[in-house]
């Protein structure tokens, strides 16, 4: 067996990546590239079954590791089966010690599930998986903007739409899902190296759309179609994609020109960009990002000092700004 290292994007909405080191039934996984959870799974129990990856078997925690804290072992079971699983976990752990700084790994989640518009073209991505047998057809056909967006996102374009029932983030979710009505449908695609997609199974999808081939231009680069709308909605969706910029810098297929544009957008959310930047596969304008990171540190220090003062009951004197 070979050790397999790969990354998988986290969708609905796009909110980061997961890096994985796998060997046999053992996996080390990390969402931030710093803290790793190591699990072992008895693959021999289901090795004779078809599509055995879809068969649930218990994952046992080998341990949790970070460079700062070292390895904290999980429960150790006195059995021969566990010793066999532990041996695979040992291999993954020692590989992790040597290669944890190699993140981000290359993306391997080439199977993508897309919510389709009324013309049955890709509208918004819902999910992605590494293995074909992990494709699911029973999930909700609803695209989500994300809780953070519902709480914090604002846009002048939204104000001009006059939708008092919603805030900006909530309305984007509502609007995108309305674009898939009256009967939402979705389709899995295998994305090829050139960006084109081969149609696979779908949900609420007519059979004539299966096994179709779509050009790379049919798939929105940033996972949400912000075109083919009226000007106000196109601008609102474009504002949302700019707000997502710190996450888009995690992508590995950006040209230097495009990365430079997104870096400028990402610096407007300095705190999030600072959290993610060690996972960026490339940086075009290092001085710009470093300045934004200094801003993030200062803002965290101010917030921390304010929280401590509030906790200790220290308040500025009357008239103090």
DSSP for 67-109, written as a single string: TTTEEEE-----SHHHHHHHHHHHHHHHHHHHHGGGPSPPB--
- Phi/psi for 306 (5° steps) reads -65, -40
User: What pLDDT, in 10s, does the model give residues 189-231?
Assistant: 999 999 999 999 999 999 999 999 999 999 999 999 999 899 9
Question: HSE-up of 116 (CA within 13 Å, CB side)?
Answer: 20
d(CA 237, CA 176): 9
Cα angle vertex 99, ends 96, 100, to 5°?
70
Residues 282, 288, 294, 299: is their CA dihedral positive or negative? negative
Q: Find out whether 285 and 260 touch, Cβ atoms under 8 Å.
A: yes
Q: Output the pTM of the full model.
A: 0.88
Question: HSE-up of 18 (CA within 13 Å, CB side)?
Answer: 16
Give the distance from CA 283 to its chain's centroid: 19
Residue-by-residue pLDDT tens, the chain, 321 positions: 799 999 999 999 999 999 999 999 999 999 999 999 999 998 765 455 555 554 445 689 999 999 999 999 988 887 778 888 999 999 999 999 999 999 999 999 999 999 999 999 999 999 999 999 999 999 899 999 999 999 999 999 999 999 999 999 999 999 999 999 889 999 999 999 999 999 999 999 999 999 999 999 999 999 999 998 999 999 999 999 999 999 999 999 999 999 999 999 999 999 999 999 999 999 999 999 999 999 999 999 987 666 666 655 654 444 444
- Phi/psi for 290 (5° steps) reads -65, -40
d(CA 223, CA 124): 6
For residue 159 the two structure tokens come to 């104000």
Q: Which residues of 216-248 are buried (b: 16+ CB within 10 A; e: fewer)?
A: eebbbebbbbbeebeeebebbbbbbbbbbbbbb
């Amino acid at each position: 067996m070979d050790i397999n290292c790969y990354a998988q994007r986290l969708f609905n909405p796009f909110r980061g990546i997961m890096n994985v080191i796998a060997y046999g039934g053992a996996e080390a996984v990390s969402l931030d590239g710093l803290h790793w959870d190591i699990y072992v799974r008895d693959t021999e129990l289901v090795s004779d079954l078809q599509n055995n990856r879809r068969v649930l078997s218990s994952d046992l925690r080998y341990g949790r590791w970070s460079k700062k804290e070292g390895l904290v072992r999980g429960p150790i079971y006195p059995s021969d089966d566990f010793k066999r699983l532990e041996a695979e976990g040992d291999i993954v752990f020692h590989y992790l010690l040597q290669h944890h700084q190699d993140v981000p790994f290359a993306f391997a989640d080439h199977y993508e599930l897309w919510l389709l518009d009324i013309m049955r073209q890709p509208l918004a991505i819902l999910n992605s998986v590494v293995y074909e047998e992990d494709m699911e057809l029973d999930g909700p056909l609803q695209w989500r903007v994300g809780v953070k967006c519902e709480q914090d996102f604002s846009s002048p374009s939204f104000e001009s739409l006059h939708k008092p029932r919603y805030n900006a983030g909530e309305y984007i979710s509502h609007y995108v899902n309305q674009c898939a009505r009256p009967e939402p449908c979705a389709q899995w695609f295998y994305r090829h190296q050139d960006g084109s997609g081969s149609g696979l199974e779908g949900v609420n999808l007519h059979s004539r759309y299966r096994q179709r081939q779509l050009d790379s231009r049919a798939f929105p680069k940033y996972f949400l179609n912000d075109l083919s709308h009226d000007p106000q909605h196109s601008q609102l969706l474009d504002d949302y994609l700019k707000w997502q910029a710190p996450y888009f810098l995690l992508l590995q297929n950006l040209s230097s020109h495009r990365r430079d544009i997104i870096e400028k957008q990402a610096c407007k959310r300095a705190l999030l960009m600072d959290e993610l930047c060690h996972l960026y596969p490339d940086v075009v304008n290092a001085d710009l990002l470093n300045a934004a990171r200094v801003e993030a540190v200062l803002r965290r220090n101010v917030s921390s000092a304010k929280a401590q003062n509030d906790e200790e009951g220290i308040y500025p004197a009357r008239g103090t700004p």
